């Protein structure tokens, strides 16, 4: 892709900065954190210092003042090196902050966005429940209004930053008779699960945020991939949430969260694209160095064709992803394009990482090379923020809508 099709000089500078940071500071620790599943507080702190946790938000809200394309570039570049760090940027920014930026009151924006955009604390998004995954409208968590507050009860599942985060945007049913129009969203706060680590590194905890009684994180998931990213349950037991913490109008929670997921899908497309391109880079490097039968294995046509297919598909993925980001940035409809980019790139990430492991032969099946981690990290891209099946539903419904049927 011609860099100047979507990128300004500023975008190219952001790309260079993220590449440098990812290769110098993230690459050396990625395998260790994948193995231990420990949250990488130190490098996440560095991401905050570099402005990577608030890229698209205005400077007056503590953000870096860049745009959606710059944000997409950061996720794409980071995922070439470590998908767990890339999902931290994406889940924190789009899922954990953007609903406040877009649907919050001025007071909510001023109170929470600077803390999130600077990386002082981490944010999360509570939509999925044990019984409400693809059927996001099947939310069972309830919010019952009692005077100046709501009382929340329920459980959320698979929540990125569920343990390490302090600010959460969650959905709950306020009017069971109204289906998806009876779902509202709320801002909830709790203490990070590891105050000691947060205090030691100097991010992740803000003592001025109230720890709402009855709100806590539950079981940490032991995952196949994205193992340095923190995924847990969120549990609400008679949590009293002040009315001023409702995000948007009563009943607007479902649509607001669906719009947030449209943006989130551009982020997951970028993350998947980074994994696919990173796997291609690894395969190219290995296959030009590794010799068998007296020549670099890249010279064998069977393997060279695999590399050609990977490169062609990565190129296609770039156009889908940056086109969706460009539409979003210019305020144009992009729901279908975001779902297409997410669908294509997540399935591409799986194909490319599997091929990269194959190119590495036996070595690719060990932890001596990053491609086995990349293959494990790719799988969830076909599941999180809407499965491939859900993307096909979103795309086909939007096509029919455009036809007026
Ligand atoms: N933007 C704005 N509005 C949207 C929307 C979007 N992206 N998607 C749906 N809506 C609106 C619809 O227009 C509809 O409003 P009206 O009744 O006024 O027309 C309302 O929301 C209900 O939509 P719909 O009838 O399509 O809801 P469904 O229950 O059929 O669910 C899908 C739609 C399947 C698309 C939705 O449940 C979904 O995206 N599921 C996947 C959830 C997901 O990605 N989870 C990942 C985990 S969160 S990280």
Residue 125: helix, strand or coil by DSSP? strand
Ligand 1 centre distance from Cα of residue 255 (Å): 7
| Structure confidence at residue 238 (pLDDT) | 98
In contact, 247 and 98? CB cutoff 8 Å: no
DSSP assignment string, 325-349: HHHHHTT---HHHHHHHHHHHHHHH
Would you kindly state where each structural domain of the chain is located, as residue ranges?
3-101, 123-250, 256-404
Mean pLDDT of 163-179: 98
In contact, 298 and 104? CB cutoff 8 Å: no
For residue 385, indicate whether it is catalytic.
yes
Instruction: Let me know if domain 3-101 sits in CATH 2.60.40.10.
Output: no
In this model, does residue 30 exceed pLDDT 90?
A: yes
Ligand 1 centre distance from Cα of residue 184 (Å): 14
Instruction: Let me know if domain 123-250 sits in CATH 2.40.110.10.
Output: yes
| Structure confidence at residue 193 (pLDDT) | 94
Closest of 10, 73, 23, 66 to residue 318, by C-alpha: 73
Phi, psi dihedrals of residue 363, rounded to the nearest 5° = -65, -30
Q: Is 0.95 topped by the overall pTM? A: yes
* Active-site residue, from 49, 59, 385, 389: 385
- Superfamily in which the 256-404 domain is placed by CATH: Butyryl-CoA Dehydrogenase, subunit A, domain 3 (1.20.140.10)
- The CA-atom distances, in angstroms, between 117 and each of 53, 62, 130, 200 are 5, 6, 30, 20
Of ligand 1's listed atoms, the one at least distance from the Cα of 261 is 44
Ligand 1 centre distance from Cα of residue 160 (Å): 21
DSSP state of 159: E
Instruction: Give the model confidence (pLDDT) of 65-77 as tens digits.
Output: 999 999 999 999 9
Of ligand 1's listed atoms, the one at least distance from the Cα of 127 is 48
């Amino acid at each position: 892709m011609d860099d100047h099709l979507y990128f300004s000089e500023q975008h190219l500078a952001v790309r260079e900065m993220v590449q440098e940071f990812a290769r110098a500071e993230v690459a050396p620790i990625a395998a260790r954190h994948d193995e231990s599943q420990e949250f990488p507080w130190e490098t996440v702190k560095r991401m905050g210092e570099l402005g990577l946790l608030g890229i698209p938000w205005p400077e007056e809200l503590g953000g870096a003042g860049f745009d959606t394309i710059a944000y997409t570039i950061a996720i794409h570049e980071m995922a070439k090196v470590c998908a767990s760090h890339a999902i931290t940027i994406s889940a924190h920014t789009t899922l954990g902050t953007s609903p406040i930026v877009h649907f919050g009151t001025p007071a909510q924006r001023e109170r929470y966005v600077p803390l999130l955009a600077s990386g002082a604390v981490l944010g999360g998004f509570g939509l999925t429940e044990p019984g409400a995954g693809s059927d996001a409208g099947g939310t069972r968590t309830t919010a019952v209004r009692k005077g100046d507050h709501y009382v929340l009860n329920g459980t959320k599942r698979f929540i990125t930053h569920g343990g390490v985060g302090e600010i959460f945007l969650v959905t709950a049913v306020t009017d069971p008779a109204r289906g998806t129009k009876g779902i509202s969203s709320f801002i909830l706060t709790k203490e990070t699960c590891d105050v000691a680590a947060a205090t030691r590194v100097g991010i992740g905890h803000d003592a001025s945020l109230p720890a709402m009684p009855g709100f806590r994180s539950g079981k940490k998931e032991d995952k196949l991939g994205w193992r340095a990213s923190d995924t847990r349950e969120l549990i609400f037991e008679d949590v009293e949430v002040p009315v001023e913490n409702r995000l948007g109008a009563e009943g607007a929670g479902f649509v607001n969260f669906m719009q947030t997921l449209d943006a989130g899908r551009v982020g997951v497309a970028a993350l998947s694209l980074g994994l696919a391109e990173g796997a291609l880079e690894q395969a190219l490097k290995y296959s030009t160095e590794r010799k068998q039968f007296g020549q670099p294995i890249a010279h064998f046509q069977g393997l060279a064709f695999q590399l050609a297919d990977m490169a062609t598909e990565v190129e296609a993925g770039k156009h889908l992803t940056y086109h969706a980001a460009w539409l979003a940035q210019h305020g144009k409809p992009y729901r279908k394009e975001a779902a297409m980019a997410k669908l294509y790139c997540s399935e591409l990430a799986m194909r490319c990482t599997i091929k990269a492991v194959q190119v590495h032969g036996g070595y690719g099946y060990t932890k001596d090379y990053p491609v086995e981690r990349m293959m494990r990290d790719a799988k969830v891209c076909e599941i999180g923020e809407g499965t491939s099946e859900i993307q096909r539903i979103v795309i086909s419904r939007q096509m029919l809508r455009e036809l007026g049927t």
